[in-house]
Amino acid sequence: MIFVESAFRHGYSEEDFREVLEAGGVSKRSQRGLDGVYEVLGRNYAGEYLHIVYRREVTRTVVFHIRRMTDKEKRRFRYK
């Protein structure tokens, strides 16, 4: 797994990504229809609601975006 510099722009870390996955974040294909791009909505262990975007490639996964969820995303996550 690769984390590009833009993934950390909002102050979150690789650990936050792992926590969201361990806590059962909701993963689905990109809302924008990009091939191989997925979004994860979930909470880290500190209770923060996070939105993560990553790309699956043949030999690796590239995480390029981690930020707080918008209110609309929180509603979508809560009523999954």
Q: Report which of residues 30 and 20 the model is more confident about.
A: 20
pLDDT at 33 over 80: no
User: Is 39 a residue whose pLDDT tops 70?
Assistant: yes
pTM of the predicted model as reported, rounded to 2 decimal places: 0.88
Strands (E), the chain: 2-3, 26-29, 37-43, 49-56, 61-68
State the average pLDDT for the chain. Answer: 91
Confidence class for position 26, pLDDT limits 50, 70, 90: confident
- Residue 42 CB burial class (10 angstroms; 0-12, 13-18, ≥19): buried
Query: What is the rounded average pLDDT of the residues 14-42?
Result: 89
* Model pLDDT for residues 43-80, shown as the tens digit of each residue: 999 999 999 999 988 899 999 999 999 999 999 888 86
